[in-house]
Amino acid sequence: MPVREIKPGIYHVGAIDWDRRLFDELIPLPEGTTYNAYLVKGKEKTALVDTVDPAKEQELLDNLKEAGVEKLDYIIANHAEQDHSGAIGRVLERYPDARVVTNEKCKNFLKDLLLIPDEKFIVVKDGEDLSLGEKTFSFVFTPWVHWPETMVTYLKEDKILFSCDFFGSHFATSSLFADESGRLYESAKRYYAEIMMPFRTSIRKHLERLSNFDIDIIAPSHGPVYKNPSFTIDAYREWNSDDVKNEVVIAHVSMHGSTGKMVDYFIAALMKRGVQVKPFNLPGTDIGELAIALVDAATLVIATPMVLSGAHPQAVYAAFLANALRPKTRFISIIGSYGWGGKFVEQLKGLLGNLRAEVLEPVIARGHPKKEDFRKLEALVDTIVEKHKNSGLL
Ligand code: FEO
């Protein structure tokens, strides 16, 4: 991947990972990803902002060579996770006089994770400046987006925010700058849902603080660079707000069709009443799509048959995921069927405790759903419609 200029003296020297399809052996990456590292050449000093995933470290070194970097003074580490810090060791081998500039917490992570020796670090404080000559960095601590040590780096004269994971997107593209397409928006929303949503309270605080900065460009460490920062800042404000939409996410799985019949009836009944439905048949679901839907939906319903003495493992996983992502869901319910016993309602309720959502009366059928079960599903739909109306959504 070639070195690309963002502004005079400021270059993208990172790598595109077109083929990566899984992150942390967990998160699907349908659009691949990028590991953005930025080179900033000042009159007196030269700095690298973040590095790349170890799989791409040779590309980074080649790019630094192509950019004519003979001497590197600083490696700014905004975040210790290895997709940004994993090449620091190799960069230090190539540029032994460089110092890793980061906060105390990040330094300790980097020492633990990458065995970087203590003497290689310069520790900075929140709000501290670092001059390269006519270019000045200011460090802004943004803990919990999404690790406890995360920070962003603001280049004052050029009004560029190097935001690392914040405002990122797993979106491999040959375009240096964001095209603001629907595909990019969806990728950014997926990234927010999977990585940032559990930290809504912290993100709200950081968005507020960053609103005091004059930002012309946001240069994240994944995905394209934003020349129009409001595209991503406005999206974050919306996703991160307390506002929900008139939507019911239905995460469902059925083994022999009984739960499936209930789900079909339930979807149709909600649609008749003007409620938007987002069903996910769990065995074939990309969990990223489910996460995206959870960003906005007022209500989550999990539908499952009984397996052994509890919910189907796919339903357990969906509940575990929703609980971990902590969406702003206001109402939850459970529907399902069983043959001879078991306790999936209590099990799933217990798994969803982080949501602090109101639990609406579950509907559970013995075997094939019967008239009475469909009547109960109608009652659940009535309740959802009423709740959505009372929330001003319908
Ligand atoms: Fe892109 Fe938290 O690393």
DSSP for 170-233, please give it.
Answer: ----S-SB----HHHHHHHHHHIIIIIGGGHHHHHHHHHHHTTS--SEEEESSS-BBSSTHHHH
Q: In one letter, which amino acid is 264?
A: D
Tokens matching residue 350: 């217990």
Same domain, yes or no, for 76 and 223?
Answer: yes
**Which tens digits make up the pLDDT trace of 318-376?**
999 999 999 999 999 999 999 998 799 999 999 999 999 999 999 999 999 999 999 99
Q: How far is the CA of 11 from the centre of ligand 1 (A)?
A: 20
Same domain, yes or no, for 228 and 253?
Answer: no
Q: How far is the CA of 222 from the centre of ligand 1 (A)?
A: 8
Q: Give the pLDDT of residue 259.
A: 98
Q: Give the pLDDT of residue 284.
A: 94
Kindly give, in sequence order, each residue whose CB lies less than 8 Å from that of residue 68, ignoring residues fewer than 6 positions away.
none
Residue nearest to atom 1 of ligand 1 (CA): 165
Relative to the CA of 150, which ligand 1 atom is closest? 2
pTM of the predicted model over 0.85: yes
Q: Is residue 394 part of a domain?
A: no
Same domain, yes or no, for 128 and 274?
Answer: no
Q: What is the C-alpha separation between 41 and 20, in angstroms, rounded?
A: 31
Relative to the CA of 82, which ligand 1 atom is closest? 3
Residue nearest to atom 3 of ligand 1 (CA): 81
**Which tens digits make up the pLDDT trace of 124-136?**
999 999 999 999 9
Same domain, yes or no, for 47 and 107?
Answer: yes
Domain range spanning residue 314?
248-386
Q: What is the C-alpha separation between 375 and 29, in angstroms, rounded?
A: 41
Q: What is the C-alpha separation between 163 and 146, in angstroms, rounded?
A: 12
Residue nearest to atom 2 of ligand 1 (CA): 81
Relative to the CA of 147, which ligand 1 atom is closest? 2
Q: Give the pLDDT of residue 341.
A: 84
Q: How far is the CA of 210 from the centre of ligand 1 (A)?
A: 20
Q: How far is the CA of 237 from the centre of ligand 1 (A)?
A: 20
Tokens matching residue 342: 């078991």
Q: What is the C-alpha separation between 336 and 14, in angstroms, rounded?
A: 48
Same domain, yes or no, for 192 and 320?
Answer: no
Q: What is the C-alpha separation between 149 and 78, in angstroms, rounded?
A: 8
Which of 203, 224, 240 corresponds to the end of one domain? 240
Q: Is the pLDDT of residue 264 over 80?
A: yes
**Which tens digits make up the pLDDT trace of 2-31?**
999 999 999 999 999 999 999 999 999 999
Which of 240, 266, 292 corresponds to the end of one domain? 240
Q: Is the pLDDT of residue 239 over 80?
A: yes
Relative to the CA of 221, which ligand 1 atom is closest? 1
Mean pLDDT, to the nearest integer, of 302-329? 97
| Residue 241 confidence class, pLDDT cut points 50, 70, 90 | very high
Q: What percent of the chain has pLDDT over 70?
A: 100
Q: Give the pLDDT of residue 10.
A: 98
Which of 240, 256, 285 corresponds to the end of one domain? 240
Same domain, yes or no, for 235 and 252?
Answer: no
Q: What is the C-alpha separation between 217 and 56, in angstroms, rounded?
A: 25
Mean pLDDT, to the nearest integer, of 197-220? 98
- What is the average pLDDT value for the chain, to the nearest integer? 97
Tokens matching residue 311: 């919910």
Whether the CB-CB separation of 34 and 121 falls below 8 Å is answered with: no
Q: How far is the CA of 74 from the centre of ligand 1 (A)?
A: 20
Mean pLDDT, to the nearest integer, of 178-202? 97
Tokens matching residue 180: 């603001």
**Which tens digits make up the pLDDT trace of 146-157?**
999 999 999 999
Same domain, yes or no, for 99 and 214?
Answer: yes
Mean pLDDT, to the nearest integer, of 25-39? 96
Same domain, yes or no, for 285 and 233?
Answer: no
Relative to the CA of 164, which ligand 1 atom is closest? 1
Mean pLDDT, to the nearest integer, of 203-220? 98
| Residue 1 confidence class, pLDDT cut points 50, 70, 90 | confident
Same domain, yes or no, for 163 and 289?
Answer: no
Q: What is the C-alpha separation between 126 and 212, in angstroms, rounded?
A: 15
- The H or E element spanning position 161 is strand 160-164
User: How would DSSP label each residue in 26-86?
Assistant: TEE-TT-EEE--EEEE-SS-EEEE----GGGHHHHHHHHHHTT-S---EEE-S--SHHHHT
Answer whether the bond into residue 146 is a cis peptide, omega within 30°.
yes
State the total domains in the chain: 2
Q: How far is the CA of 169 from the centre of ligand 1 (A)?
A: 10
Residues with CB under 6 A from ligand 1: 79, 81, 83-84, 146, 165, 221-222
Q: Is residue 393 part of a domain?
A: no
Q: What is the C-alpha separation between 226 and 22, in angstroms, rounded?
A: 24
Q: How far is the CA of 80 from the centre of ligand 1 (A)?
A: 8
Q: What is the C-alpha separation between 148 and 264, in angstroms, rounded?
A: 43
Q: How far is the CA of 165 from the centre of ligand 1 (A)?
A: 5
Largest Cα span, the chain: 79
Q: Is residue 288 part of a domain?
A: yes
Q: How far is the CA of 83 from the centre of ligand 1 (A)?
A: 6
Q: What is the C-alpha separation between 308 and 324, in angstroms, rounded?
A: 25
